Amino acid sequence: MVGTFYLEGQEFMALNGGPNFKFTPAISLVVKCQTQAEIDYYWDALLRGGGKPNRCGWLDDKFGLSWQIVPTVLGDLMSTGDAARSNRVMEALFKMDKLIIADLQKAYEQ
């Protein structure tokens, strides 16, 4: 019924709550990626076997758990203090399922 596991030194506990408790987007895991290859790897792996993509880098894995696969550069692009650039990045992001670093950077540079 209960299992514990470690990710990057952080302990997590998982509980089988039975059919009355389903995963919702109220709990999700974030994977921060340095490169597009990392994004592609995690995106594809988490969708494998029946996952479903969502907008803005979100997806639900085959168990229904929500994940967000995010490039670390996104924080840099959004925190420059330039509202016009940040807005362009957000507009580009809102059109994507899987986040594409080159497209986000292109929106920033326009």
As a CATH number, domain 20-109 is 3.10.180.10
Q: Where are the domains of the chain?
A: 20-109
Q: What is the pLDDT of residues 34-62, one digit of tens each?
A: 999 999 999 999 999 999 999 999 999 99
Q: What is the pLDDT of residues 57-101, one digit of tens each?
A: 999 999 899 999 999 999 999 998 999 999 999 999 999 999 999
At 68 the three-state DSSP class reads strand
- The structure tokens listed for 41 are 């790897």
At 41 the three-state DSSP class reads helix
Which of 52-86 are b and which e, b meaning 16 or more Cβ less than 10 Å from the residue's Cβ?
A: eeeeebbbbbeeebbbbbbbebbeebbeeeeeebb
